[in-house]
Structure 1
Amino acid sequence: MQQTTVEMDPMTFQVVDQGGRITVEEMDPAVLFRDGNRAFEAGDWATAARKYGLVHAQFPESRFAIVSAYNAALALEHDGKCEAALPLYRHVVAKTSGSKDAQDALFRVAACGETLGRWELTLETCDEILRPHNPTIGIVDRIGARVHRGFARQKLGQLALAERDFKEALAEFQRHLDVPALGKSPEVSLAQFQIGELYRDLFASIRFKLPTDRMARDLQDKSNFFLMAQSAYLKTLRLQHANYAVVAGYRLGALYEVMYDDMMAAEIPPELTRDEVEEYYEELRSKIRPLLVRAIDIYERNLRMGQRLGTTSDWVERTETNLARLKEVLRQDSTREAEAQLRQPN
């Protein structure tokens, strides 16, 4: 008679208090893992995290233990509990060091850092992912790690280092255009977009101040940053990623809008009479009206692009709001100009 031995994970039972209702739960790691999967697929994050967490805590030697720790962390992250997810991700990293599983867990640690606004954590984690001795990292993940490290550096005020990360990521993208997975990579679009954001912030920080020689320098610097931001946003638009194209289109229109607003808010010499001030603003509006017209055109194009891409984000709503405002400003300018012409003697 032949004897067959089947190895099975240990099975126990546990009394569980579910809001005052006492139940006996089967503590079989396979059953708990299956129940966790079902809860996860249903979007029941709390139940999924609890089921997976039981496997991780009660059956550390089970073949389900590592994946359950990762899945429990992912469920907690989905449930908005990134702080509780972090030690579970770190546990996976420690147990699977040097593997693709460890790398995936590190990316989730970096993402949790972003969610929590813990930029140092994101920066340090991306450094860990990009260490040269990591044998598993591929081009897609390498670009992703560089971009998210750049984003963390940007948030920490390390602007030059952030720009370098973004540009290195884009350079790697250009060297690997034959990789299908990079075709619609959100990280590539994010890198290009964030370069625009870096220069937009510098552009927006400049205000036109007297004396006139300083104002001339301000105009030169602001115009240069305008062009740099504009170029980055246009490149983002060409990548046509649904999550970033409409945002870039909005930012592009806003560059023209902000330039108009800042020029209208420029300091004027205090010695000007009331009539001279009115004449100054009338002439200024006439000269910079093309900024309004261009912004309106871009916003209208952006709305059409949003419809084409099926985007319903709040950036579409912001575009609509700004478009309505600029059309009203342009209407008021036209009315003001018509009234001024009527006041002129024949």
Structure 2
Amino acid sequence: MRLLSVIALTVFLGMGCASRPQQTTVPRRARAQTAEARVAFADALQQMKTGECDRAVTSFDRVVEIFPDSRYVSASLYNAGLCLQRLERWRESTERYERLLRLRPGSRDTKHTRFQLAFLYVETRRFDEALETTDLLLGHTGLTSDERSEVMARRAEAWLGRGELDAAAAEAREALLYHRTRSEEERIRDPFFVASASYTLAETVRLRSESIVIPPAAVEAQRAVLERRAGLLLEAQRTYFDTIRLTDAYWASAAGYRIGSMYDRFWDAIMTAPVPPAGRAMTSAELAIYRQEYRLRLAELAQPLIRHAIRYWELTLAMVQRTGVRSEWTGRIEADLEAARARLRKFADRADHRKVIMARAPQKLPPPD
């Protein structure tokens, strides 16, 4: 995820201390306090710039506590929130931003604060608050194309988090349509949130696919269910490919991981599906052999799914190496890739063992003339 205001940190911080107090009407004591607040804020800002976020948070909090009427309150709370985000202390960061909106509702930092809160609410699964905050952001006049793209992508994420797949898909499609219909002057310059919306759309299709359960039924009925699930898998794969084409390294890695994981999960679904009933009456021993043979045959047919998963994960890791952008998706890919390779080796060992057993089995003699 991105922190919009971290990227443009110097701009936002400058906004927080750009105005000047009216020196001619402020009493001497108040002027002294204003000067002290300015020095304290500058010290906190310097700590933030040098990466001393723990100290900076304490210093910004002190500005708010000691100088509650100063013009540095809004910027101090905002910067403390940013520092806490860097430290991934989501709850404390959220508290600073929410306090800013309560204490300084008309602050020039309000819009950017809501952008940060939208991220944090999604990150901490407070999806109702995320939707409420993005509604407020859409009401802001003068949003840039990139900002509106971010808001729409956040809304799609929030709907997805709530489990409302139709609403998430609709919001994601609207975000993608907004991207495609911008003029050259209005074009979205950073593909991050466009790719996020595309990824969310793919996720809605994947979740629909993986919600399909293979029933304990005859082979023909199971095949129809598998074909429906496979059709959605391919639709999701196409949308993940669309995400990769948007060339954002983070979301491309996420999409590559999901493509591989879909094949891996499809394999699991097939291999754990109920065995169809036998076509004739069998003893318990015969039934055990029938089920074992069915699983082995199914594994042979489904083996390409593991190879597909391995291939897509290997391609995604190669892309990560080219771009140099590692994320949490990289670790997932590496772990699941090794597990898939081990599963493939285990399957190959079982297949070889089965061939040996079959070769040693006595051959049925032809009937006598």
Relative to the length of structure 2, the TM-score reads 0.78
Contact 1:206–1:218 under 8 Å retained in 2 = yes
252-261 or 269-278, larger mean C-alpha shift: 269-278
Aligned AA (1:157): G
> Whole-Å Cα distance in 1 between the matches of residues 212 and 311 of structure 2?
25
The equivalent of 2:165 in structure 1 is 159
Q: Tell me if 1:338 matches 2:345.
A: no
Bigger shift: 177-186 or 191-200?
177-186
Quote the residue 1:20 is aligned against. Answer: none
Match of 2:95 in 1: 84
Aligned to 1:289: 303
5 Å-filtered alignment, 1:201-220, equals 201-212=207-218, 214-220=221-227
* Superposed CA RMSD: 2.8
* Deviations, residues 263-286 of structure 1 (Å, cap 9, x unaligned): 111101355622322332232222
Instruction: Give the residue type in structure 2 aligned to 1:40.
Output: M
Question: In the aligned structure 2, how far is the partner of 1:181 from the partner of 1:55?
Answer: 40
Q: Does 1:11 pair with 2:22?
A: no
SS in 2 for 1:274: helix
Determine the C-alpha separation between the residues in 2 that align with 1:269 and 1:161.
Answer: 37
User: 2:15 corresponds to which residue?
Assistant: none
CA distance, structure 2, for counterparts of residue 256 and residue 208 of structure 1? 16
> Using the alignment, how far apart are the partners of 2:338 and 2:251 within structure 1?
22
Matched, 1:259 2:285: no
- Contact 1:92 1:102 survives alignment (8 Å): no
Deviation at 1:83, TM superposition (A): 4.0
Q: What is the correspondence of 1:69-218 to structure 2 with a 5 Å cutoff?
A: 69-79=77-87, 80=89, 81-91=92-102, 94-96=105-107, 101-131=109-139, 134-176=140-182, 178=184, 182-212=188-218, 214-218=221-225
Do the aligned residues in 1 keep the contact of 2:118 with 2:133 (CA within 8 Å)? yes
Higher-strand-fraction structure: 1
C-alpha deviations, 1:227-277, integer Å up to 9, x for none?
222112111111221211112111111111111121111101355622322
In the alignment, the residues of structure 2 paired with residue 107 and residue 93 of structure 1 have an alpha-carbon distance, to the nearest angstrom, of 16
Any conservation in 2 of the 1:193–1:248 contact (CA below 8 Å)?
yes
Q: Could you say which residue in structure 2 is the equivalent of 1:18?
A: none
Q: Percent identity?
A: 26
Amino acid at match of 1:144: E
2: CA distance between counterparts of 1:137 and 1:108?
Answer: 15
Select between 144-153 and 47-56 the one with higher mean Cα deviation: 47-56
| Structure 1 contact 93–103 (Cα < 8 Å) conserved | no
* TM, length-normalised to structure 1: 0.83
C-alpha distance 93-249 of structure 1, shift in aligned 2 (>3 A): farther
Q: Which blocks of at least 5 consecutive residues in structure 2 are unaligned?
A: 1-21, 364-369
How many Å separate the matches in 2 of 1:75 and 1:290? Answer: 47
Q: In the alignment, is the contact (CA less than 8 A) between 1:73 and 1:88 conserved in 2?
A: no
Structure 1 unmatched runs, 5+: 13-25
Q: 1:67 to 1:6 in 2, by over 3 A?
A: same
Paired position in structure 2 for 1:227: 234
Name the CA distance, whole Å, in 1 between partners of 2:346 and 2:81. Answer: 55
State whether structure 2 residue 337 is matched by structure 1 residue 326: no
Classify the secondary structure of the residue corresponding to 2:326: coil
Contact 2:217 2:277 in 1 (8 A): no
Match of 1:182, SS state, is coil
* Compared CA separation, residues 337 and 6, structure 1 to 2 (3 A): closer
CA-to-partner distance for each residue in 1:141-171, whole Å, 9 max, x for gaps? Answer: 1111111112112112222111111111111
Stretch of structure 1 that moved more, 262-271 or 298-307: 262-271
AA partner of residue 10 (structure 1): R
The equivalent residue for 2:50 is 42
2 CA distance for matches of 1:296 and 1:73?
41
Partners of 2:187 and 2:53 lie apart in 1 by 29
Which residue, 265, 272, 276 being the options, matches 1:269? Answer: 276
Question: Does the alignment pair 1:239 with 2:246?
Answer: yes
Give 1:90 shift.
Answer: 0.8
Q: 1:293 to 1:43 in 2, by over 3 A?
A: same
Flag the structure with more relative contact order, 1 or 2, with Cα contacts below 8 A and sequence separation at least 6: 2
> Paired residues, what number?
324
Query: 1:63 deviation in Å?
Result: 4.5
